[in-house]
Amino acid sequence: MDTLTSADLPLGETAPPQTSARPFVREKNGRSELILAVSGAKCGGCLAKIEKNVSALEGIDHVRMNLSTGRLVADWTSDGFNPDRIIETLNGLGYPSKPFDPDLVDASRQKRERGLLLAMAVAGFAAANIMLLSVSVWAGKGEMSDATRTLLHWVSAAIAIPTVAFSGRPFFSSALGALRGGHVNMDVPISLAVLLATGLSIYETIHHGEHSYFDAAVMLLFFLLIGRFLEARLQRQAYKAADDLAAMQAVTVSRRLEDGSIETVASGSLGVGDTLIISTGERLPVDADLMSAEASLNTSLVTGEVMPQLEPQGTRIYAGSVNLGAPIEVAVATTTDDSLIGEISRLLDVGEQKRSKYRQIADKAAELYVPIVHTLAAVAFIGWFIISGDVRTALFTAISVLVITCPCALALAAPVVQIVAAGRLFRANAFLKSGDALERIAACDHIVFDKTGTLTELTPHFDDTEESRETLNLAAHLARASRHPLSRAVVQAACPGPVAENVEEHKGLGLSGLIDGKEARLGSWEWVSAENGAAPEDNVSLWFWIDGSAPAPLHLTEDIKKGAKELLHSLDELGVTYEICSGDHPARVEEVAARVGVQNFTGGIKPVGKAERVDALSVEGHKVLMIGDGLNDAGALASSHAALAPGGALDAARTASDAVYSGESLENIATVIRVARSAQGRIKENFGLAVIYNLIAVPIALLGFVTPLIAAIAMSGSSIVVTLNALRVASGKTK
């Protein structure tokens, strides 16, 4: 299972013992590879530290860490290398790890999310009750007896101490792990502030002091747990795309043995040269060479091509293609890891790794925050101890500095905007999936559109004109006896009617039958043309012939999705450029581009080619927003700076994207961009407000004019201001 630090584990559980990595090493092309689940890495600095130290191990050739999924992939060629050294190195750095098992990762992350939710609920309930007691103490000042006040402090302590121990565990464990690894993170000053405020409150309560600060400690935990929970919920979806592709390949298939018998085996056990029997409707799990005379294939997942493809013997068929005709025999050309889907999986992993290195504004601010706050608190303690000679006064001031500068507003600045923006997008039928998606979408200046399923409807239809109506109705007599996608399209376009007699389906060619006693055919030009002459220049994919008449074409048309032209107009206003990049036939891509008004377009491009186009645009300096819906788009979706997918997209495409949009109009895409840009502005404003607040509050705290209680109130006030500013995303029009 995925290994977690105690900060990441559900509350009440402990980290599992270290497991040997040797049984999990995979041998591939003369190289050894190990995939580990690493926990505790939360920012670009953690990622760089992990990759640098693991790469420094003698014998290691390559190391790749994916911050979003928590996966680390290391490979080597040295026979004597001990893979346990990688785990030992990571543990020594404060990032516990264990061999990766995708079957249990999501369950462990869900447990962590539930644990954070429970901790947040407990802290919120405790904060409300302690604040009620604090209000009683404040209101009764001058009238309440010392004994009564002390009793209320003890009641607050009874609520706060177990709450701090329970709800503070994610921060305490994370801070302890960082300190053991020889570095600090944002959880270190948080833990110090909470523990010192709680400890000082206990001291004051024992000595019948006038003030206690249990409310400050618990309220601080509650606010910070809100941000931590939102972050965990958004990040849990980030790693699913590669697992979806792996599940697509983790199937069983029929393999023909040398003696002619058939056995069912897992696709992962296939070897190059194995003979497979692919039944009607079955998807190929590996790349293979066609051994049968011909095959009718649906390659839409691979190329985006909406029309079924008739392929001759010897053709290379790619994983993900579906056999539409009679059962076929193929020879395995690659293993699952080296197939087209395997290559797309690697593109996804590389793309996710690239995105995981994206440094959000909060990460940049955190790098400066920790050393500055620690220095200020230390200066406050030393300075006031020298001035007053009183440890208690010096400690009060230092705690006030820690609490008043505690990164509550800083921690909420981005998450609260994200959740408000997510609600705004939800009302616009768009669903945010990634924590840092808003920042990346807002930065995009160029869009790469897929065609089929993105700009056009997935199901094509036949032109319904007066000239074609009679032909369609007659062709439907044959089509009603077939489940072929093109036959279904003919039936949908035609009027209701009978089924032809003696209908036969001819593999890779079409249909034949009798209509009112006349022989009729529906299919390719070669099939319907009795003379089998050269195809006309206006050749189309489907023809109909009935005895006594010449072959008639059935013209296929793709419907442009509603709002396409309005979307492009909005993109022009937003200053965003765009192009179409499709695996469909170049002629159809050109036709669609002309209809919607896109000047730049490319057709007949393979999945890897799409990802390469995105990378080329990135090299040119563009921040690319990729929009696609198919397996052939998944690699480009992951490689882009940000990605969107329609609601009807393939699972791998949806999970590789940052947001999913639905609804009747493509204008939702423009709404996503506008909201993202508005949210980016609010996030920057929130950090600006946090900086202004600290510039005012810190000097006052350093001069000793702020008690921990006032510091807690000020800290809460700053968080409220940040939240109110974030609500501006949900109101009014976005630019």
The DSSP bridge partners found for residue 97 are 38
> Which residues are tagged catalytic?
450
Amino acid at 389: G
> Three-class SS of residue 663?
coil
The DSSP bridge partners found for residue 98 are 37
Residue 553 to residues 331, 467, 503, 633, Cα–Cα distance (Å): 36, 11, 20, 32
3-state secondary structure 555-590: CEECCECCCHHHHHHHHHHHCCEEEEECCCCHHHHH
DSSP symbol at 22: G
Question: Quick one: which of 677, 665, 671, 666 has its CA closest to 627?
Answer: 666
Amino acid at 270: L
CB-based contacts of 551, cutoff 8 Å, min separation 6:
525, 528, 529, 543, 544, 545
CB-based contacts of 12, cutoff 8 Å, min separation 6:
none
Beta pairing, strands 294-298 & 288-290 = unpaired
Distance CA 619, CA 385 (A): 56
Burial of 293 (0-12, 13-18, 19+ CB in 10 A): exposed
Distance CA 401, CA 381 (A): 10
Distance CA 722, CA 718 (A): 6
User: CB neighbours (10 Å) of residue 304?
Assistant: 30
Q: Are 298 and 281 in contact (CB under 8 A)?
A: no
Q: Are 543 and 552 in contact (CB under 8 A)?
A: yes
Burial of 665 (0-12, 13-18, 19+ CB in 10 A): middle
